[in-house]
Amino acid sequence: MYPDDLKYSDEHEWARRNDGDVVEVGVTHYAQDTLGDVVFVELPEVGSKVDQFDKFGEIESVKAVSDLFSPVSGTVTAVNSDLEQSPELVNSDPYGDGWIMEVKLDDPAELDALMDSEAYQEILE
């Protein structure tokens, strides 16, 4: 439920560094489970700047709304527009088809401030 190749924030977002300085960002299994049925994800604009641990969007379930906080600083290079039609992907596949955005890192060292799978699971307990 918490893959080893990801880094986690204590606001329940994950970051996956693919190649180079670009990371994929989404919310964790815990986040989607707590929220329940996700009905809407407010995506950032491609090209906009995000700062580590600052708000970049919102995620809504039927009767709750939560802020999304970016686990890294950088420039948004892509967003998952499939979520506009099918926000439920966040529930069904939070680490795959339910990804939210791609960010080109300002400073790869920021990833060190995030938790690995084991540490993240500890804070959930």
Partner 1 sequence: MSSNGISAHPFIPNTPSEREQMLATIGVENFDALITDIPEDHRNPGLDLPASASELEVAARMQALAAINQDAGSRPSFLGAGAYRHFIPSTVGAVLQRGEFVTSYTPYQPEGAQGTLQTGFEFQSAVAQIFGMEVANAGMYDGPTAFAEAGLMAARVSRRNRILILDSADRRLFEVADAYSRYQQVTVESIGLDKVLDGDIPDDAACIAFQSPNFLGEIEDARAISDAAHAAGALSVMHTYPIALGMFKAPGQCDVDIATSEGQPLGVPLTFGGAYVGLFTAKQRFIRQLPGRIIGETADTNGRTGYTLTLQTREQHIRRERATSNICTSTQLIGLMVAVYCATMGPSGLRKVAELSYHKAHYLADQINGLDGWDANPNGRVFFNEFVATGPVGPSEINRQLAERGIIGGLDIADVVPGGMLFCVTEMNSRHDIDRLVNALAEIGKGGAA
Partner 2 sequence: MNAPSVSPNSSIADMQDRRLLMDRSVPGHHAVALPEPDVPVSDLPDADLLRDVGDLQLPEVDQLEVIRYFTLLSRLNFSIDTNFYPLGSCTMKYNPKLNDQMASLGGFANIHPLQDDVAVQGALEVMHELQKWLGEATGLPAVSLAPLAGAQGEYAGLLIARAALEARGESHRNVALIPDSAHGTNPASAAMAGLDVVVVKTDEFGNVDVEDLREKADDKTCVFMLTIPSTLGLFEPNIIEINQIIHDAGGLVYADGANLNALLGLVKLGDVGVDICHSNLHKTFSTPHGGGGPGAGPVMVTRRLASFLPDPVVVQARSSDAGPRGYRYRLYRPIESIGKINGFHGSFSILVRAYTYMQSLGGDGLRSVSENAVINANYIQAQLRDRFDLAVDRICMHETVLSGKRQADRGVPALNIAKRLLDYGIHAPTMYFPLIVPEALMVEPTETESKETLDRFISVMQAIDDEISSEPETVLNAPHSLPVSRLDEATAARRPVLRWQPDGD
Q: Of the two residues 67 and 107, which places its CB atom closer to partner 1 in the complex?
A: 67
Annotate each residue in 57-76 with x if it binds partner 2 (CB under 8 A) or - if it does not, as one string: ---xxx--------------
Listed in order, strand segments (DSSP E) in 3-69 are 7-8, 13-17, 22-27, 38-42, 49-50, 55-61, 64-69
Residues within window 50-89 making contact with partner 1, judged by CB under 8 A: 60-65
Q: Which stretch binds partner 2 (CB under 8 A): 15-23, 80-88, 97-105, 117-125?
A: 80-88
**Residue 115 token pair:** 């938790």
Three-class SS of residue 99? Answer: coil
In the complex, the residues that contact partner 2 under the rule CB under 8 A are 37, 39-40, 60-62, 85-88
